[in-house]
Amino acid sequence: MNLEALSTGLDRLYPNPQCALDHKDAYELLVATILSAQSTDVRVNLVTPALFSRYPDPTALSRAVPAELIVFIRSVGLFNNKAAALIGMASQLVESHAGLVPDRMDALIALPGVARKTANVVLQNIWNRNEGFVVDTHISRLAQRLGLTTETKAERIERDLMSTFAVALWARRSHQLILHGREVCDARRPACDRCALFDVCPRVGLST
C-alpha cells in the first residue's frame, strides 16, 4: 500500500469531509450516533428533528417512557435496545455529569450504549480531539480491502489505523473513508470500475 498516494487520493476526493449526522451540540450528536448503529445517517437524520423537539436535553430524555420514545425511533431499527440505551445514557448524564456530555473517553464509554466508536465521533466532532479512530462498518471494510489491517475486531482495526495515520489526521481520514465506503466501496458491489483509488488499492478479499 502506497500510503502517500492513498492520502492524496482521499484528499482530492473528499477535501472537506464532515460528520453526516445532523446535530447542534454534544447531546444531539451523542444521541444520533447511538441511533446510527446498524442504521444509516440519512435515516437517523429523518427522525432526530422530532425526537429532539420532544426530548431537547438529557433531563427530558432521562424521563422518557420507553413506549413513547420508541414511537420516534422505530424506523432506525433495534429500537427496544436503543430506547433503553438512550434513557440509561441520559439518566447517567443527569446523575453523574450535571446533565452535560463529558469530554473524556473514559467517561463517555462508561455511559450506556456508548462504545469507542461513538465516543470518538463525539470527541472529534465536538471538541476536535483525536483520542482514537472511528471504526464503523464502512471503515472496517475499507481498512481490510486497502490492506491497512488484517484484523476483524473493531478495537484491533482502530489500533492499526491509529498506527498508520498521523494523529492530527484521524478525524479527517475517518470521515473520508466513511464517505468512500458509502459512495463507492459498497459491501456487496464495490464500484471498482469508477474508483479513483483503484490504482493504489490492493483490493484484499475481492475476486475481480
DSSP letter (8 states) at residue 119: H
CATH topology of domain 3-16+132-200: Endonuclease Iii, domain 2 (1.10.1670)
- Taking the C-alpha atoms of residue 132 and residue 60, their distance in angstroms, rounded to an integer, is 30
pLDDT in tens, the chain (208 residues): 799 999 999 999 999 999 999 999 999 999 999 999 999 999 999 999 999 999 999 999 999 999 999 999 999 999 999 999 999 999 999 999 999 999 999 999 999 999 999 999 999 999 999 999 999 999 999 999 999 999 999 999 999 999 999 999 999 999 999 999 999 999 999 999 999 999 999 999 997 5
Sorted by where each begins, the domain ranges of the chain are 3-16+132-200, 26-127
Question: What residue ranges in the chain does DSSP mark as E strands?
Answer: none
Query: Which residue, 196, 191, 22, is CA-closest to 208?
Result: 191
Going through 98-197 in order, the beta strands assigned E by DSSP cover: none
Query: How far is the C-alpha of 85 from the C-alpha of 82, rounded, in Å?
Result: 5
Catalytic (active site) residue 160: no
DSSP label at 169?
G
Per-residue b or e along 133-150, where b marks 16 or more CB atoms closer than 10 Å to that residue's CB: bbbbebbbbbbbbbebbe
Eight-state DSSP code of residue 197: T
Q: 136 catalytic, yes or no?
A: yes
**Rg of the chain, C-alpha, whole Å:** 18
Packing angle of the helix pair 26-35, 79-96 (nearest 10 deg): 150
- Residue at 110: amino acid letter: A
Catalytic residue among 22, 82, 103, 136: 136
- What's the topology of domain 26-127? Endonuclease III; domain 1 (1.10.340)
Do residues 54 and 82 make contact, with C-beta atoms less than 8 angstroms apart?
Answer: no
Candidate list 11, 24, 106, 117, residue with the active-site label: 117
Given a contact cutoff of 8 angstroms between Cβ atoms, the answer to whether 69 and 83 are in contact is yes
Asked whether the whole model's pTM tops 0.85, one would answer yes
pLDDT for res 35: 99
Q: What is d(CA 148, CA 45) in angstroms, rounded to the nearest whole number?
A: 31
